[in-house]
Chain A
Amino acid sequence: MELALIVHLLVVFTIYGILAISLNLVVGATGLFNLGHAAFYGIGAYTSALLVKAGVPWLLAVLTSMATASCVAFIIGIPTLRLVGDYLAVVTMGLGEITRAVFKNWISLTRGPMGLPGIPHASVLGIEFDTAEKFLILGVVCLVIVFVVAERVLYSPFGRVLKGIREDEAAVQALGKNTYRYKMGVLILGSAMAGLAGSLFAHYITFIDPSSFVMWLTFFLFLIIVLGGLGNNLGAVVVTVVFVALREGLRFVGLPLWLNPAALQQLIFGILLIIATIFVPRGLIPERKVVYE
């Protein structure tokens, strides 16, 4: 394998790693069934791409894209987080599709299915991340920041309440916690992280179109966090490495022509997810048990 390909895979890994960790906070730690993660990712990508194209510095654009993703999460959270998880699942799924419809049909802004080409490279304080190697540094820095933040959150009093909500929300409410606020907090945080990943993606590939933000991506991330151990960030990161390699690797296996590679990949991952949920429900690296004195 060439070095360039390895660098590219590593960059893809950093972006997916951020996505997996952020979804893990929302789904794995808190148990909120968020099926619209790809939408927050897409909102981040489009916001950032459009702003930088309009001349805004990347650093400001990435913050704005995180804020935009958070705002959408907040609005979606108001009606759904007070209800059973099933409702959140379907509304976030709907959000995912509406967002994609907006990307596809608001042609004057997003150019629709033709996508946005020529997105400038990310640059911070005059340093331009215009090669894959340079971008890898940026990606790793962002991944580490997200990882540390997620770990800090999980093992803080806030994170304890989140896990409590996942295990038994009524019990946490009985302890006097306003669970709605905690759920809103984690949804906003997770969406902001997804927005960051979206911005990184847009300025790395320098081209985005609606097909990058399909529900299939959310599903792929679900598989990663279920296999990695729900609520375990390290597990999510490890499985992301394996999966990104596997997914790209499948492209090089000589498949018969009639076999649709995307469908085959979907079939394999789907079966894996069913097996994983039934037989290894706690994942390959189970969540750390923390005992408080």
Chain B
Amino acid sequence: MEIFVQLLVNGVIAGGTYALAAVGYSMVYGALKFINFAHGSIAMVGAYIAFVLVTMGNVPLVPAFLGSMLLTAMLGVMVERVAYRPLRRAPKLASLTTAIAVSFVLDAAVMIIMGADIRTFSLTGLRSYQIGPIYITPVQGAIILTSLAFMVGLYWLLTRTKLGKAIRAVADGISLAEVSGIDTNLIISAVFAIGSALAAASGALIGMDTNLQPTMGFIITVKAFAAVVLGGLGNVWGAVVGAFLIGIVENTGVWFIPPVWKDSIAYGILILALFLRPSGIFGKKEEAQVTVL
């Protein structure tokens, strides 16, 4: 039972990192109705930026973390300008294809610059806390706190600010937002900036908790996307719930099946969810049923 509680906590921690990546995914989907397959790779770049700042630039952890979020936000805006904006009116297949291409370019670039080896932050001098029967590292504590803080911040941004109102207007209908005088290009850039910054936070925290690898983006993409689909495409809060659900199920799943299948659990949940409730837990039913690519 104690092990189960520990697995549950591990699940919440994993869910926190997935949630950070998933909300950005969901926001981009809301604004452009398109799956940004490069999102996980952007998170990976964020993780490496933080890594370089900490280990080679000797920047303290927290400023490095924030710096990586800022730089990755700029990368996200740039990717949208170069690879997605020219295709906004093209068939959807085109932008999905470039998104995959972007993720491969980012992975390859990092692999060339940093090498394909696994890297670790080697945060020495950090010891696990023991709370009752549960062990938790300071990084894991930080993951829970940071993801909660960012979720609250995002909620405030989306519901209480003018920018948030504009983002929601664009998600409701881009042409209608445009005729109401909203600079939709600016708002989409903002969505990419926020989404990429949160992705960087996710990547950096995963990197600190475990390790970094140029291919880690793909796993983040899949987990975050599974969370987004589970919660209902385009529904930001559904994505958060989906992320925690996936984190918890795959970590407690280790209790029942061998751990080598851990990553397959997310896909399994995803496929099962599509069978049972295609529009996601909180999605609107009609959205998923339109079968136009």
CB contacts (< 8 Å) of A243 on chain B: these are none
Distance of A173 Cα from B218 Cα, bound (Å): 35
Min CB–CB distance B81 → chain A (angstroms): 12
Contact status of A95 and B267, CB under 8 A, knowing A89-B35, A277-B94? yes
CB contacts (< 8 Å) of B109 on chain A: these are 267
A93 touches B96 (CB 8 A): no
Q: Is A74 an interface position by the 8 A CB rule? A: no
Min CB–CB distance A129 → chain B (angstroms): 35
Distance of A216 Cα from B107 Cα, bound (Å): 12
Min CB–CB distance A261 → chain B (angstroms): 10
Min CB–CB distance A291 → chain B (angstroms): 21
Q: CB-CB contacts of A243-284 with B at 8 A, as 1s and 0s?
A: 000000000000000011001101101110110011001000
Q: Is A105 an interface position by the 8 A CB rule? A: yes
A80 touches B263 (CB 8 A): no
A169 touches B263 (CB 8 A): no
Stretch of B63-71, B126-134, B238-246, B283-291 lying at the A interface: B283-291
Q: Is A151 an interface position by the 8 A CB rule? A: no
A277 touches B274 (CB 8 A): no
B222 touches A94 (CB 8 A): yes
A98-148, CB < 8 A from B: 98, 101, 104-105
Which of these, A35, A84, A90, A223, contacts B270 with CB under 8 Å?
A90
Which of these, A32, A89, A215, A273, contacts B101 with CB under 8 Å?
A273
Q: Is B97 an interface position by the 8 A CB rule? A: yes
CB<8 Å pairs between A and B, sample of 16: A33-B93, A85-B92, A89-B37, A90-B35, A90-B225, A97-B222, A101-B261, A105-B260, A216-B104, A222-B100, A260-B116, A263-B112, A267-B109, A270-B102, A271-B105, A274-B83
| A76-B271, A83-B291, A84-B292 known, 15 other contacts, Cβ within 8 Å | A84-B288, A85-B291, A86-B96, A89-B37, A90-B35, A90-B229, A105-B258, A169-B292, A219-B100, A219-B101, A223-B101, A266-B105, A271-B105, A274-B105, A281-B90
Q: Which residues of A contact B (CB under 8 A)?
A: 27, 31-33, 35, 76, 78-80, 82-87, 89-91, 93-95, 97-98, 101, 104-105, 166, 168-170, 173, 179, 215-216, 219, 222-223, 226, 230, 259-260, 263-264, 266-267, 269-271, 273-274, 277-278, 281
Q: Which residues of B contact A (CB under 8 A)?
A: 34-35, 37, 82-83, 86-87, 90-94, 96-98, 100-102, 104-105, 107-109, 111-112, 115-116, 214, 218, 222, 225-226, 229, 233, 258, 260-261, 263-264, 266-268, 270-271, 274-275, 278, 288-293
